[in-house]
Amino acid sequence: MINLHDIRYIRLGTANLDEARRYATQILGLQIAREANGAVYFRSDSRDHTLCYYEGDPQETTTAFEVRTAQDLEDAAVLLERNKFNVQHGSRADAEVRYVDDFIRFKDPSGNNIELVLRPHASGRRYFPSRDAGITGFSHIGLRTLNARRDELFWTQLANARVSDRIGEAPLLRIDEVHHKIALFPSSHPGVQHINHQVETVDDLMRAYYFLVERGIRILFGPGRHPTSGAMFLYFEGPDGMTYEYSTGVSLISPENDASHQPRQFPAEGAGFCAWGAKPDIPEFKS
């Protein structure tokens, strides 16, 4: 089994690196870690970086997960190859660009670019945001899936993810105590569907709402509250059509309750996505 430890970073191609840099700092509220290799690396917590924008095709999105040991990485590569996945071992130069010791890459069954990384760098300095957005860290991603049931089996049988809840066919998957680190949303094409950052309080969430509206940023969903995780949320549009989310108050499933947790089934309609009645302007969230 692929032993996922945590989600680590997202890599996004962009046709306008200057605009992506401006948005990530002035709007999203991340800290620039560095600019190198035709890319800008952004921090949101104690990790070296959690988001990287680079000059490239905006359709090229990559999600990285950390594994604990070199043996875990090698075992994952063997298991993937045994199950007919094309695994590429990262070069030393590519590992240095990602600020990791080693990594492998492959595509999940829907064609999403996935990297498994070993010994990713941490930062020795405190995260200092470019604006006071209240961000406490990068938390989860939504991935598009061409076949939710098939992909759920990949993440839960080849990897150690567990289903917390489902919205229609979309499973919300945890790899630690947090309600979900991966959400799989049915779509006609692969790619990262949304990127979540946690904020400290509901006040941060509401301040963000007014901040974004005043600056003409398109609000895609919320403010609202997910009945699945209990998190209060706000989704908004980023560069190249990427969807970003702030949320706060996500529920935890403790190790004591993990084995006995029974996933709930929510409808793939308004009440399944928002307990307050907010209406989404996101294709994968529309019934």
What 122-125 contacts at long range (C-beta under 8 Å, 24+ apart), as own/partner pairs, is 122/46, 122/47, 122/48, 123/33, 123/43, 123/46, 123/47, 123/48
Same domain flag for 151 and 259 = yes
What is the residue-averaged pLDDT of the chain?
Answer: 96
Q: How many CB atoms lie within 10 A of CB 68?
A: 13
Which CATH number do you get for residue 46?
3.10.180.10
Same domain flag for 197 and 231 = yes
Specify if 1 maps to a domain.
Answer: no
Query: What does the pLDDT read at residue 287?
Result: 66
- The single-letter DSSP state of residue 210 is H
Host domain of residue 275: 135-285
Specify if 124 maps to a domain.
Answer: no
Name the residue with tokens 């306008």.
16
Q: How far is CA 177 from the centre of its chain?
A: 16
**Total number of residues shown for the chain:** 287
Specify if 104 maps to a domain.
Answer: yes
Largest CA distance in the chain: 52
Specify if 127 maps to a domain.
Answer: no
Query: What does the pLDDT read at residue 286?
Result: 84
Same domain flag for 144 and 114 = no
Same domain flag for 160 and 276 = yes
- The pTM assigned to this predicted structure is 0.96
Query: What does the pLDDT read at residue 259?
Result: 86
Name the residue with tokens 């969807």.
243
Same domain flag for 184 and 255 = yes
Element holding 219 (H helix, E strand): strand 219-225
Query: What does the pLDDT read at residue 256?
Result: 87
Give the pLDDT confidence of 103-156 residue by residue, as tens digits. 999 999 999 999 999 999 999 999 999 999 999 999 999 999 999 999 999 999
Cα distances (angstroms) measured from residue 193 to each of 25, 50, 99, 261: 21, 16, 24, 26
Query: Rounded CA gap, 91 and 115, in Å?
Result: 13
Cα radius of gyration rounded to whole Å, the chain: 18
Give the pLDDT confidence of 31-55 residue by residue, as tens digits. 999 999 899 999 999 999 999 999 9
In percent, the amount of the chain with pLDDT more than 70 equals 100
In 3-state terms, what secondary structure has residue 6? strand
Give the pLDDT confidence of 66-85 residue by residue, as tens digits. 999 999 999 999 999 999 99
Same domain flag for 32 and 172 = no
Query: Rounded CA gap, 155 and 53, in Å?
Result: 26
Give the pLDDT confidence of 216-241 residue by residue, as tens digits. 999 999 999 999 999 999 999 999 99
The answer to whether the bond into 283 is cis (omega within 30° of 0) is: no
Count the domains in the chain.
Answer: 2
Same domain flag for 11 and 47 = yes
Q: Is 265 exposed, middle or buried (0-12, 13-18, 19+ CB in 10 A)?
A: exposed
Same domain flag for 161 and 60 = no
Same domain flag for 103 and 142 = no
Name 178's Cβ contacts closer than 8 Å, sequence gap at least 6: 139, 140, 250, 252
Strands 264-266 and 162-167: parallel
